[in-house]
Amino acid sequence: MRQAGPSASVDDGLRAGIGLRQPHYAEVIQASPPLGFVEVHSENFFADGGAALAVLTEARERYDVSLHGVGLGLGSAAGVDAWHLDRLARLVRRIEPVRVSDHASFARAPRAAAGAVLHANDLLPLAFTKASLDILCANVMQVQDRLKRRILVENLSAYLSFPDDSISEPAYFAALCERSGCAMLLDVNNIMVNALNLGAPDPIAHCKAFVDALPQGIVSEIHLAGYCETDQIVIDDHGSRVRPDVWTVYEHALRRFGTLPTLVEWDTEVPALAVLTGEADHATRLLRAAAATRAGAALGV
Amino acid sequence: MNIEAERQQRLMAQLLAPRADTAALALRESGSRALRGLQAYRANADASATRALATAFPTVQALVGEADFEHLAREFWRAAPPLRGDLGEWGDTFAAWLAAHPQFADGPYIGDCARLDWALHRCERAADNTLDADSIARLGDTDSARLAMQLAPGVALVESAWPIVMILDAHRGGDDAAFAAARDAISEQRGEAALVARQGWRATAIAIDAGSAAWTRRLLAGDDLAGALAAAGEQFDFSAWLTTAIQAAWVKGIRVLVD
């Protein structure tokens, strides 16, 4: 059974964060629960003004804020939308986030050759090829040049994949980070969802191997969330507690990389805030345990 | 077109196609598993469409019912897919699309209700207003033909041959009497002009008379105050309007027109 909150006997600076979503705006601002940071979807704050932006500004006075995009389409062969990048740059100036991230996905493409470039507003999968890596690197560098900061790029849960993949996903991210200077946002739930959808005989071992194949130093944040099983496919719905198999891989990642800013996301069937902060508290306990283990190892105990 | 551009275009086309079909996609998955994967993305699109349009068009959703609205949202997503990665920006052509939709041949006010919903939605996303109080003094020392009034960001005028404000108010928590009054006004085809403005964070609409509508229309067009006053007619009480407008934060300021 989980403890009521994080252990108070260790460094309070190590705390997991939560994805801040609309149902929790008022309560988070009012109660200001102890959190390492809050993360929001950048696009929800692209408006010129209004209530959501005011809430985020208030949240920024209480917490570090991480801006996590879902719509840059960093892997789009059609490139990054200048309008989108302008809005993101404006938000970065307003909020001064601790981190800015988006996904290794494409979102923008025409539906017919030479047609208007549409935006799917979804995290559409990339092929792991040299050609797609070239596109992704160029787009990431364009964004970093504009924002004048390093961004983080997250691995996807993908429901479709491509037969001509020529690079393993960890090697793809290693090359992306090396070439563009970006960092990786490792979504542990996503690698588990992919392992399950792949039918990996031992999904936990599969995910640990993924983590082990990533070079040291490239991962700058970890995401955790829940998934759900449907017929034939596991969906990354961010609609439930983090699963035990994901916690296991998370602990493995902490052993490998050391403590990292960690976020618990919950986007559908959003529960009471206490349920979400309870999940973040559990991540905090694991972070602190990992820190204690590493400190002990450094002292030879 | 390079291989990745072509791959992405094909997937986009299948996401927007009337029915899920993986035949045109070169995938590692095959058969029903490939189809299920494609359906997962198509389901995301359907959910995004409904969520985005329900946020922007709550009155339309209430008028047509949730199930029909969901169908309309899916249809509109395929007819006029988003161009931006902020779904709050998507929907500017929804009102015109609805007005032309054969399903609403017997409900001609739906398009105008959608126009009002969209104006309210835009108003709530507009820049927060700061009154330039000093600029108001220009009203006392400058010829009105050389002045224009800047209304607060998001302030809009929606004019209709239907009682769109009564319909809005009925669906925004109105009682039975409000619905009955709206139905009567629809049957009599009583038109309304709606002034949209923010009250705190929430955008609201109030019905205004023809003179106020003419005045507002001219202000929004950037016309000079003398011309706007002439358009408003003799019944229009500028002093009373200004007091209300400043209290209600409809005004951003006065600017001097350059010759």
Over chain A, what HEC string results?
CCCCCCCCCCCCCCCCEEECCHHHHHHHHHHCCCCCCEEEEHHHHCCCCCHHHHHHHHHHHHCCEEEECCCCCCCCCCCCCHHHHHHHHHHHHHHCCCEEEEECCEEEECCCCCCCCEEEEEEECCCCCHHHHHHHHHHHHHHHHHHCCCCEEECCCCCCCCCCCCCCHHHHHHHHHHHHCCEEEEEHHHHHHHHHHHCCCCHHHHHHHHHHHCCCCCEEEEEECCCEECCCCEECCCCCCCCHHHHHHHHHHHHHHCCCCEEECCCCCCCCHHHHHHHHHHHHHHHHHHHHHHHHHHCCC
pLDDT digits (tens, 9 = 90+) for B57-93: 999 999 999 999 999 999 999 999 999 999 999 999 9
* Cβ–Cβ under 8 Å, residues A264 and A276: yes
SS3 state at B203: strand
Task: Flag if A131 and B3 touch (Cβ within 8 Å).
Answer: yes
How do the domains of chain A map onto residue ranges? 17-298
Task: Flag if A120 and B128 touch (Cβ within 8 Å).
Answer: no
Q: For residues A254 and B54, give the distance between their C-alpha atoms in angstroms, rounded to a whole number.
A: 41
Please check whether residue B56 lies inside any domain of the structure.
no
Task: Flag if B7 and A50 touch (Cβ within 8 Å).
Answer: no
Residues of A with CB below 8 A from B11's CB? Answer: 109, 124, 160
End-to-end CA distance of chain B: 52
The residue type of B211 is G
Nearest CA in chain B to A43: B86
* Cβ–Cβ under 8 Å, residues B241 and B225: no
**pLDDT of res. A231:** 85
Residues of B with CB below 8 A from A51's CB? Answer: 124, 201
User: Which of A119, A124, A231 lies at the smallest CB-CB distance from B84?
Assistant: A119
Q: Which domain holds residue B193?
A: 125-259
Average pLDDT over residues B100-129: 94
Instruction: Pick the closest to residue B156 from B93, B241, B246, B219 (CA basis).
Output: B219
Nearest CA in chain A to B86: A43
- Substitution target in B2, B3, B4, B83 with the highest count of A β-carbons within 10 Å is B4
A246 dihedral zone (left: phi>0; alpha: psi -120 to 50; beta): alpha
- Substitution target in B6, B14, B86 with the highest count of A β-carbons within 10 Å is B86
**pLDDT of res. A245:** 98
- Substitution target in B1, B2, B3, B7 with the highest count of A β-carbons within 10 Å is B7
Within 13 Å, how many C-alpha atoms sit on residue B209's CB side?
9
User: Whole-number mean pLDDT of chain B?
Assistant: 96
Please check whether residue B109 lies inside any domain of the structure.
no
Residues of B with CB below 8 A from A83's CB? Answer: 84
Residue found under tokens 């207003």: B129
* Cβ–Cβ under 8 Å, residues B57 and A192: no
**pLDDT of res. B97:** 97
The answer to whether residue B12 scores a pLDDT higher than 60 is yes
Task: Flag if B9 and A109 touch (Cβ within 8 Å).
Answer: yes
What angle separates helix B176-187 from helix B164-171, to the nearest 10 degrees? Answer: 160
Residues of B with CB below 8 A from A77's CB? Answer: 2, 4-5, 8
Chain A nearest-CA distance from B75, in A, is 15
pLDDT digits (tens, 9 = 90+) for B182-226: 999 999 999 999 999 999 999 999 999 999 999 999 999 999 999
Q: Where are the beta strands (DSSP E) in B138-179?
A: 147-151, 156-160
Chain A nearest-CA distance from B134, in A, is 23
Tell whether domain A17-298 is in CATH 3.50.50.60: no
The answer to whether residue B108 scores a pLDDT higher than 90 is no
Residue found under tokens 């010829």: B143
Q: For residues A127 and A130, give the distance between their C-alpha atoms in angstroms, rounded to a whole number.
A: 9
Task: Flag if B4 and A77 touch (Cβ within 8 Å).
Answer: yes
Residues of chain A with pLDDT below 70 are 1-13, 301
Average pLDDT over residues B30-37: 95
Residues of A with CB below 8 A from B3's CB? Answer: 129, 131
Q: Rg of the Cα trace of chain A? A: 19
Q: For residues B234 and B232, give the distance between their C-alpha atoms in angstroms, rounded to a whole number.
A: 7
The residue type of B45 is A
Nearest-5° Cα angle at A243, A32 to A218: 75
Please check whether residue B242 lies inside any domain of the structure.
yes
Residues of B with CB below 8 A from A87's CB? Answer: 86
Residues of B with CB below 8 A from A112's CB? Answer: 9, 13
Average pLDDT over residues B4-23: 96
Task: Flag if B29 and A160 touch (Cβ within 8 Å).
Answer: yes
Distances (CA, A) of A176 to A167, A171, B224, B239: 12, 8, 57, 64
**pLDDT of res. A113:** 86
**pLDDT of res. A208:** 98
Nearest CA in chain B to A50: B125
Chain B nearest-CA distance from A84, in A, is 7
Please check whether residue B79 lies inside any domain of the structure.
no
Task: Flag if B124 and A73 touch (Cβ within 8 Å).
Answer: no
Chain A nearest-CA distance from B233, in A, is 34
The answer to whether residue B105 scores a pLDDT higher than 60 is yes
Nearest CA in chain A to B120: A50
Residues of A with CB below 8 A from B84's CB? Answer: 71, 81, 83-84, 119
Task: Flag if A129 and B4 touch (Cβ within 8 Å).
Answer: yes
Please check whether residue B67 lies inside any domain of the structure.
no
**pLDDT of res. A294:** 83
Give Cβ neighbours of residue A23 (< 8 Å, ≥ 6 apart). A270
Please count the structural domains in chain B.
Answer: 1
pTM value?
A: 0.95
**pLDDT of res. A301:** 61
**pLDDT of res. A1:** 40
Please check whether residue B24 lies inside any domain of the structure.
no
SS3 state at B147: strand
Please check whether residue B157 lies inside any domain of the structure.
yes
Q: Sorting pLDDT into bands at 50, 70 and 90, what band is B153?
A: very high
SS3 state at B5: helix
* Cβ–Cβ under 8 Å, residues B55 and B118: no
Q: Sorting pLDDT into bands at 50, 70 and 90, what band is B258?
A: confident
**pLDDT of res. A226:** 97
What is the torsional sign of CA B5, B6, B8, B9? positive
Nearest CA in chain B to A44: B86
**DSSP bridge pairs for B199:** B202
User: Predicted ipTM?
Assistant: 0.94
Task: Flag if A118 and B37 touch (Cβ within 8 Å).
Answer: no
